[in-house]
Amino acid sequence: MTTFRENSTHSQANKLTLAEILEIFAAGQLPLKFTAYDGSTAGPEDAALGLDLKTPRGTTYLATAPGDLGLARAYVSGDLEPHGVHPGDPYPLLCALAEKMDFKRPPARVLANIVRSIGIEHLKPIAPPPQEALPRWRRMVEGLRHSRVRDAEAIHHHYDVSNTFYEWVLGPSMTYTCACYPDADATLEQAQENKYRLVFDKLRLQPGDRLLDVGCGWGAMVRYAARQGVRAIGVTLSREQAAWAQKAIAEEGLSDLAEVRHGDYRDVAESGFDAVSSIGLTEHIGVHNYPSYFGFLKSKLRVGGLLLNHCITRHDNRSGAAAGGFIDRYVFPDGELTGSGRIITEVQDVGLEVLHEENLRHHYAMTLRDWCANLVEHWDEAVAEVGLPTAKVWGLYMAGSRLGFETNVIQLHQVLAVKLDENGHDGGLPLRPWWQP
């Protein structure tokens, strides 16, 4: 096995192998076995986990986009192959990389030798895999950031993959948001049902009430509310989601109470709703649009009406809102996250009173665990449906997100608020909490 320490003098003066270059950046701390097409290896020979850099194109991806974007390009294109994990759930490999590797920038002289060893041809950017969205500056052609046209395109990129694919990954509930597990042994379906029960109860909905669910996905919240006798309208920018939801509503005999529209939430003309739920939409809105977003939701409520906002957040209120390269280019184009403090501030600043908030980040880690298990179970069918590169993107994205929730890089917050009258009255709400956890 080649090691940088054993060959440091030789390596400074001569061409470095790819394994030596990796060991330099990893300061010799490799928890997995690395092999490369140039025949070099690094890391423990008996390691259960490993990475194989198979092609020169993979080197170009890694060299021209350091960090998660370059790794994703090499992995999605098949130029970087993991060992010891299933592509539908590479969580153990990501844990090993996150917990035991700390990449360091080498000294200038060593860095210069690395550049010479890689070769100038690998420092010229090449076309990314076709699954990658355009960079942000190129998306300007499709409209300003978070304009209606550009938002619709971003939603299409992520949600119009394939309803069949989502059925395999999400399970029968077709719910692509954090579940709420009543106990550690609960199934994914039990946890999703419990989540909708929790939202429903927090909103104090009763038969005959009216609910607006913005960013309704495949209509699970709308159908849950309708089954309890609530008149519910959902809206989604995804044509595929809307078609699936409309069919499910008809099959369940809920058409008298439930409706899902394909369109922009800003086109909802009705008002006076008893409650508004926003479950997993705020991430797509854009932080600078929060005032108009929460102002619009407030305008849809009657006095005493309740808003439940459920969204992924940063772990603090200082980090930048924009997503990292992999998430922005492969998963959620134009997605933005901020801290729960910013969410609460914006809700309060439009005049709503915040009644309650809670963090469900551990529940989202468990949700992602179960989605990955579903993808592994249906891997062959998923690959046949959407192609191997796209299926790999989803396994990587979900496993990486699970790790992010477990390590408090990201969180999931529910914020409950009420619309007051001009005198600060809340319509006679009971003492909180009126719901069961």
Asked if the bond preceding 182 is cis, omega within 30° of 0, the reply is no
Q: Distance from CA of residue 84 to its chain's centroid?
A: 24
Rounded to 5 degrees, φ, ψ at 276 are -130, 130
As beta bridge partners, residue 80 has 53
Q: Which CATH code, of 1.10.3470, 2.60.40, 3.40.50, 3.30.1050, is assigned to 8-123?
A: 3.30.1050
List pLDDT tens digits, range 241-300.
Answer: 999 999 999 999 999 999 999 999 999 999 999 999 999 999 999 999 999 999 999 999
SS3 of residue 30 by DSSP? coil
Measured between its terminal Cα atoms, the distance across the chain in Å is 55
List pLDDT tens digits, range 180-206.
Answer: 999 999 999 999 999 999 999 999 999
Using CA atoms, how far apart are residues 349 and 180, in angstroms rounded to an integer? 29
CATH class belonging to 150-419: alpha beta
Sequence-separated contacts (24+) of 385-388 with Cβ below 8 Å: 385/162, 385/164, 385/165, 385/168, 386/161, 386/162, 386/165, 388/78
Predicted TM-score (pTM) of the model is: 0.90
Would you say 31 and 291 are in contact if contact means Cβ atoms under 8 Å apart? no
How many Å is the maximal CA-CA distance in the chain? 79
Q: Note the pLDDT of residue 5.
A: 44
Question: The tokens of 213 are what?
Answer: 């669910």
Amino acid at 280: G
Using CA atoms, how far apart are residues 18 and 72, in angstroms rounded to an integer? 18
Using CA atoms, how far apart are residues 258 and 224, in angstroms rounded to an integer? 9
Tokens 């060299």: give the residue: 63
For 101-160, where are the alpha helices, taking DSSP H only? Answer: 108-118, 136-139, 148-159
Using CA atoms, how far apart are residues 407 and 339, in angstroms rounded to an integer? 16
Would you say 363 and 180 are in contact if contact means Cβ atoms under 8 Å apart? yes
Question: The tokens of 272 are what?
Answer: 């006076």
As beta bridge partners, residue 211 has 232, 275
Using CA atoms, how far apart are residues 115 and 113, in angstroms rounded to an integer? 5
C-alpha R_g of the chain: 24
For 80-187, where are the alpha helices, taking DSSP H only? Answer: 91-100, 108-118, 136-139, 148-159, 163-170
Using CA atoms, how far apart are residues 146 and 286, in angstroms rounded to an integer? 7
Would you say 64 and 126 are in contact if contact means Cβ atoms under 8 Å apart? yes
Among 52, 88, 94, which residue's Cα sits nearest to residue 383? 88
Those residues of the chain that have pLDDT short of 50 are 1-12, 138-139, 146, 150, 152, 154-158
Q: Note the pLDDT of residue 153.
A: 54
Q: Note the pLDDT of residue 335.
A: 86
Question: At how many degrees (to 10) do helices 361-377 and 379-386 cross?
Answer: 80
Using CA atoms, how far apart are residues 318 and 337, in angstroms rounded to an integer? 11
Question: The tokens of 65 are what?
Answer: 């986009």
Using CA atoms, how far apart are residues 351 and 348, in angstroms rounded to an integer? 5
How does DSSP classify residue 358? Answer: E
Question: The tokens of 94 are what?
Answer: 């990501």
CATH 3.40.50.150 domain extents, the chain: 150-419
Residues 192, 194, 199, 200: is their CA dihedral positive or negative? Answer: positive
Q: Is 42 exposed, middle or buried (0-12, 13-18, 19+ CB in 10 A)?
A: buried
How does DSSP classify residue 6? Answer: T
Amino acid at 7: N
Would you say 267 and 302 are in contact if contact means Cβ atoms under 8 Å apart? no
Q: Distance from CA of residue 396 to its chain's centroid?
A: 11
